[in-house]
A and B are shown apart, each in its own frame.
Chain A
Amino acid sequence: MSTTLVSQSLVKAKSLSCPNCGTPIELRGFAHTLSAVCPSCLSILDASNPELQILQTYQGKERIEPKIPLGSRGTFNGTVYELIGFEQRSVQTPDDYFSWDEYLLFNPYKGFRYISEYCGHWNVIRVQSRVPYPTTARGRRGWVLDARKFAAFDAMQAATSYVIGEFPWQVRLGETAACEDFIAPPYMLSSETTAGETTWSLGEYWEGSKIWQAFRLPGKPPSPQGIFANQVSPYAGKTGAAWRMWLWFNVALFTLMTIFNLTKANKEVFHDEYSYAYFKNHDTSFVTPAFQLDGVNKNVEVRFHADIRNDWIYLSMALINDETGQTFDFAREVSYYVDSDGSEGNRDNRVVIPSVPAGRYYLRIEPEMVTGALSTRYEISVRRDVPIYSYFWIAAALLLIPPIVTWFRSNQFEARRWRESDYRPVDSPVMKIAGGIIESLGDD
């Protein structure tokens, strides 16, 4: 345990009585405490002199119970702090009201720390003696501190609406301060201006479970609602990593394609030209000379090319094993049309027959064209063991899915974060559509 641990024997609280109701008040902040709140009548007392003069009496009826009890001790970066004060601050605008809680922690050797909580989102805060310097971040006003750029997120007039415990300043209910928040997740730089004096503080986002662990509190912290200003995106750094991985997979895919391209025989075993002429009631089918297919169960590509224009030719074909009679039956159409608007179709077509055993084969071809067609020349070629590049293009397209989804999700998270900002950017139509798609896929 750290040497800065504060034990009961080391630090003895100063005990006084409330001049309003007589309730004993223990002060743990020593000479730092300038005001204290009576835990019974909630009167705010001036703790700078032993008489404890009443500064303000509490007129409200509601008592707020802090989520972390006063007097709790928590360990932060190896230092034990005691929770000595709690205040609730609120913002009231014509169309909005919200509040957040602030906890004051004290260690006699390390000084003060603050914890803020809003809708289950926690920040551990230190007041800064350094002054940041102005810059622009994300296209808006910002500040630089510790080489980090903080972008303006929101600005408000906050009022102190509830206090309990003790404070190193003369706290007053209703006291207002002009607050501004600037973010660089997980950090938040905040300025508080009262009577021309500006105080800077640096907050770091903490998960509620970590706060509970630091204070060894029983149970679970309240679940966070929504996305907080400086909450760390679960996709932070993942988009770049996903694109880097995509790049490596594409390198691997290209390597695989090259290997297959080099190792495949891709050998032409047959090639011939034919001419089609229509005769009524004439059988157009014929067979080719036999050709040899080597290798075990390799694929066979049959390519067609026809010299046609504004016409079609349909080829019903069969690859037949001359010895076993095993037949691979298929058909393809070649059609090509062209006019002043452009062209449609293709003079070439092909078919790939998978796993064809070795042996002697011939093709049985039955061409068909529109009745009355003029003589048409067409070519047929057969290749053994050809690479099929379409698999690689399909794989390359499928590999795009994870980085694109990660990128959309990351952008959607940031869009939801900035939706809460006073400097909310306008969502692009693409992001709106993408957000809708991702949400419909069940993203929370």
Chain B
Amino acid sequence: MNNPLFLLYGVLLLGATGYLEYTGKSFDRINQQRVLPKSIRDNPGAYRSTYGGYSRYIGGK
């Protein structure tokens, strides 16, 4: 093998890909909360999402 660095690089890359795939890791931004009252099921409006209240510019005045 005349390119051991490439071999090592490729093996590590494949290993990392396999690990990420196996563990189901994701690049998506997810906010995780531990405790949430069960009453949310009956009153979903009481829940305040991290991403709620998202306001956007829609143009004009």
Any chain B CB within 8 A of the CB of A252? yes
Contact partner of A395 (CB less than 8 A), chosen from B3, B13, B41, is B13
> Which residues from 12 to 56 on chain B have a C-beta closer than 8 Å to any C-beta of chain A?
13-14, 16-18, 20-38, 40-41, 44-45, 47, 49-52, 54, 56
A314 to B55, CA, bound (A): 10
Chain B interface size, as a band, is 35 or more
Contact partner of A316 (CB less than 8 A), chosen from B18, B23, B54, is B54
Number of A residues near B (Cβ < 8 Å) is: 55
- Known contacts A238-B3, A241-B3, A329-B51; A320/B32 CB under 8 A: no
A399 to B8, CA, bound (A): 11
- Known contacts A242-B3, A249-B14, A329-B31; A366/B24 CB under 8 A: no
Instruction: Tell me if A299 and B24 are in contact (CB < 8 A).
Output: yes
- Known contacts A283-B45, A354-B26; A238/B32 CB under 8 A: no
Q: Interface SS of chain A: helix, strand, loop or mixed? A: mixed
A392 to B17, CA, bound (A): 7
Instruction: Tell me if A395 and B28 are in contact (CB < 8 A).
Output: no
B-chain residues with CB within 8 Å of residue A256 when the two chains form the complex: 14, 17-18, 21
Instruction: Tell me if B17 and A325 are in contact (CB < 8 A).
Output: no
Instruction: Tell me if B49 and A352 are in contact (CB < 8 A).
Output: no
What is the distance, in angstroms, from B48's C-beta to the closest C-beta of chain A?
10
B-chain residues with CB within 8 Å of residue A331 when the two chains form the complex: 49-52, 54
- Known contacts A287-B41, A330-B51; A245/B3 CB under 8 A: yes
Instruction: Tell me if B32 and A316 are in contact (CB < 8 A).
Output: no
Any chain B CB within 8 A of the CB of A370? yes
Any chain B CB within 8 A of the CB of A297? yes
Instruction: Tell me if A402 and B33 are in contact (CB < 8 A).
Output: no
Instruction: Tell me if B34 and A326 are in contact (CB < 8 A).
Output: yes
Q: Which of B26, B36, B37 has the most CB of A within 10 A?
A: B26
A354 to B23, CA, bound (A): 8
Contact partner of B30 (CB less than 8 A), chosen from A287, A320, A351, A398, is A351
Instruction: Tell me if A287 and B44 are in contact (CB < 8 A).
Output: yes
CB closest chain-B residue, reference A350: B28
Bitwise, A316-330 to B at CB < 8 A (1) or not (0) is 111010100111111
CB closest chain-A residue, reference B5: A402
Q: Which of A237, A329, A394 has the most CB of B within 10 A?
A: A329
A9 to B31, CA, bound (A): 91
B-chain residues with CB within 8 Å of residue A286 when the two chains form the complex: 44
CB closest chain-A residue, reference B37: A325
- Known contacts A316-B52, A354-B23, A391-B17; A402/B9 CB under 8 A: yes
A387 to B54, CA, bound (A): 30
A164 to B17, CA, bound (A): 67
CB closest chain-B residue, reference A256: B18
Instruction: Tell me if A318 and B41 are in contact (CB < 8 A).
Output: no
Instruction: Tell me if B54 and A368 are in contact (CB < 8 A).
Output: yes
Instruction: Tell me if A329 and B33 are in contact (CB < 8 A).
Output: yes
Instruction: Tell me if A391 and B34 are in contact (CB < 8 A).
Output: no
CB closest chain-B residue, reference A321: B36
A-chain residues with CB within 8 Å of residue B10 when the two chains form the complex: 245-246, 249, 399, 402
- Known contacts A256-B14, A328-B30; A241/B24 CB under 8 A: no
A348 to B37, CA, bound (A): 31
- Known contacts A325-B36, A328-B32, A329-B49; A395/B2 CB under 8 A: no
Instruction: Tell me if A253 and B44 are in contact (CB < 8 A).
Output: no
A351 to B14, CA, bound (A): 24
Instruction: Tell me if B2 and A237 are in contact (CB < 8 A).
Output: yes
Instruction: Tell me if A329 and B26 are in contact (CB < 8 A).
Output: no
19 A–B contacts from the bound complex (CB under 8 Å) = A285-B47, A297-B24, A320-B36, A322-B41, A327-B34, A329-B32, A330-B30, A330-B51, A331-B54, A354-B30, A355-B23, A364-B44, A364-B49, A366-B49, A368-B54, A388-B20, A392-B17, A402-B10, A403-B6
